[in-house]
């Protein structure tokens, strides 16, 4: 079992802190947009946790994900929260999404798109990344911005760990994640090892999984952004404050259509 194979487990684990993450996202967006009422897109939205918060604050949101289970779960949560007039979710791929999005919104473009916590690094090739950026650029308004959360890599990067912890009702989910950097600069894949513990009153389950994330130096990232018809218009931390990108390190990059 991987974390992504059970949408409810994913949602329980990652929901803590979502509101403050949205605060930082909107603070960064406000550098470019009037952030009071936005039309917002989230590629690879997973369980829809960010979109639920944004829709609850009055924004009109659309998300999409390649995983059928995540899409079904996100839609069910929108319905349960009474958000379906402002929130919808589609099953689409990141590299091929623009036409379906324009059909779904009847041509209405988005002020803001976002993709956080390295989700975009699941795209496996430079060609896939360039295709995705072009797709998103084509559905943004002229002043629209795409906020992308990305960890930059360094040739001397060491292995590291993260720990996630979430509870809902009588279910407790914990995840220990280890990140193993590429063996050489020519190998652009970081291995991620996940160990899940899921506790309920009736049982405790464990699940281990492994997957790969593509790595980017700042130069590689900037080159691909430009190849995708966009440019880096600003760099922010998770609280929405402007920073200088550092490698290794996580930052939120504000992308806009190249002028």
User: What does the block give as tokens for 1?
Assistant: 């079992």
Residue-level pLDDT at 1: 56
- Please give the residue that has the higher pLDDT: either 15 or 1: 15
**With bands split at pLDDT 50, 70 and 90, how would you rate the model's confidence at 157?**
confident
Residue 4 has pLDDT above 80, yes or no: no
Q: pLDDT over 90 for what percent of the chain?
A: 92
**7-28 per-position pLDDT tens digit:** 999 999 999 999 999 999 999 9
User: 155 pLDDT band (50/70/90 cuts)?
Assistant: confident
Domain boundaries, given as residue ranges, for the chain = 3-153+216-257, 160-214
Encoding tokens for residue 194? 């996940």
Query: Does residue 239 have a pLDDT over 70?
Result: yes
Q: Are 62 and 85 in contact (CB under 8 A)?
A: no
CATH class of this structure's domain 3-153+216-257: alpha beta
Where residue 2 falls among pLDDT bands split at 50, 70, 90? low
Residues above pLDDT 70, as percent of the chain? 99
pLDDT band at 154 (very low <50, low <70, confident <90, very high): confident
Whole-number pLDDT of residue 255? 98
State pTM to two decimals. 0.96
Q: What is the rounded CA–CA span in Å between residue 212 and residue 76?
A: 29
What is the third-level CATH fold of 160-214?
N-terminal domain of TfIIb (2.20.25)
CA distance 186 to 188: 6
CA-to-CA distance for 202 and 133, rounded, in angstroms? 45
pLDDT of res. 199: 97
User: Taking a C-beta distance cutoff of 8 angstroms, is the pair 153, 190 a contact?
Assistant: yes
178-197 pLDDT per residue, tens: 999 998 878 999 999 999 99
Tell me which of 13-27, 69-83, 114-128, 155-169 is least confident.
155-169
């Amino acid at each position: 079992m991987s974390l992504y194979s059970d949408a409810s487990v994913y949602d329980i684990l990652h929901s803590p802190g979502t509101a403050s993450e949205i605060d930082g996202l909107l603070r960064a967006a406000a550098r470019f947009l009037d952030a009071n009422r936005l039309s917002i897109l989230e590629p690879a939205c997973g369980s829809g946790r960010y979109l639920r918060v944004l829709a609850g604050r009055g924004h009109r949101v659309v998300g999409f994900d390649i995983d059928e289970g995540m899409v079904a779960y996100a839609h069910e949560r929108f319905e349960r929260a009474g958000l379906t007039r402002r929130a919808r979710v589609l099953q689409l791929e990141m590299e091929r999404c623009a036409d379906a999005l324009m059909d779904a919104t009847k041509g209405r473009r988005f002020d803001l798109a976002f993709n956080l916590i390295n989700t975009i690094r699941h795209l496996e090739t430079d060609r896939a990344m360039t295709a995705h950026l072009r797709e998103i650029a084509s559905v943004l308004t002229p002043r629209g911005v795409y906020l992308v959360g990305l960890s930059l890599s360094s040739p001397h990067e060491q292995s590291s760990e993260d720990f996630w912890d979430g509870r809902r009702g009588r279910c407790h989910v914990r995840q220990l994640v280890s990140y193993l950097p590429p063996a050489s600069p020519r190998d652009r894949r970081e291995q991620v090892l996940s160990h899940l513990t899921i506790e309920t009153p009736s049982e405790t389950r464990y699940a281990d999984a492994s997957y790969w994330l593509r790595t980017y130096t700042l130069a590689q990232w900037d080159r691909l952004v430009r190849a995708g018809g966009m440019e880096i218009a600003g760099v922010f931390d998770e609280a929405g404050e402007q920073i200088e990108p550092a490698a290794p390190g996580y930052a939120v990059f504000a992308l806009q259509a190249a002028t």
